[in-house]
Amino acid sequence: MPKGVEIEDFAAKLDLVCKQLNWSRAKLAQQVGIDKSLAGRWLLGASRPTGNTLMRLNQTLALALPEFTSSCWDLSTEELAARLGVEQAKALPSGKAGNGAAPQGVGSILAGLRTFVRAREGIDVLAGIYCGFYRFWFGSFNNDGSILRRPAWLWREGGAIRFRVGGNTAIYEGECVPTLRGLYLIGETGAFDSMILMQLVGGHARHPNRLSGLIVYQPQGRPEVSVAGTPTVFEFIGPPSSDRAANERTWTQMLSAESAVLVDDKEARGQLPKAVLQMLRPTVGVRRGEKSVDHILTVRLVD
C-alpha to C-alpha distance for 38 and 53, rounded to whole angstroms: 11
Q: What would the pLDDT profile of 45-87 be if each residue is shown by its tens digit? A: 777 888 888 999 999 999 998 889 999 999 988 888 888 876 5
Q: What would the pLDDT profile of 239-296 be if each residue is shown by its tens digit? A: 999 999 999 999 999 988 888 888 777 788 888 888 788 778 766 656 666 666 666 5
Q: What is the predicted pLDDT for the residue at 277? A: 82
C-alpha to C-alpha distance for 147 and 130, rounded to whole angstroms: 24
Q: What would the pLDDT profile of 213-224 be if each residue is shown by its tens digit? A: 999 887 666 566
- Rounded to 5°, angle at Cα 149 from 284 and 191: 100
Give the residue-averaged pLDDT of 90-116.
46
> Residue 6, Cβ neighbours under 10 Å: how many?
8
| Angle, in degrees to the nearest 10, between helices 77-84 and 10-21 | 20
- Least confident span in 3-7, 81-85, 122-126, 193-197: 3-7
3-state secondary structure of 192: coil
Q: What is the predicted pLDDT for the residue at 93? A: 40
Give the residue-averaged pLDDT of 99-108.
45
pTM above 0.75, yes or no: no
- Does the 123-280 domain belong in CATH 2.160.10.10? no
CATH of 10-103 given 3.40.50.300, 1.10.10.10, 1.20.1250.20, 1.10.260.40: 1.10.260.40
For residue 130, pLDDT beyond 70: yes
Q: What is the predicted pLDDT for the residue at 150? A: 93
10-103 and 123-280: same fold? Answer: no
Q: What is the predicted pLDDT for the residue at 249? A: 93
Domain ranges of the chain: 10-103, 123-280
The residues that bridge with 134 in the sheet, in sequence order, are 152, 236
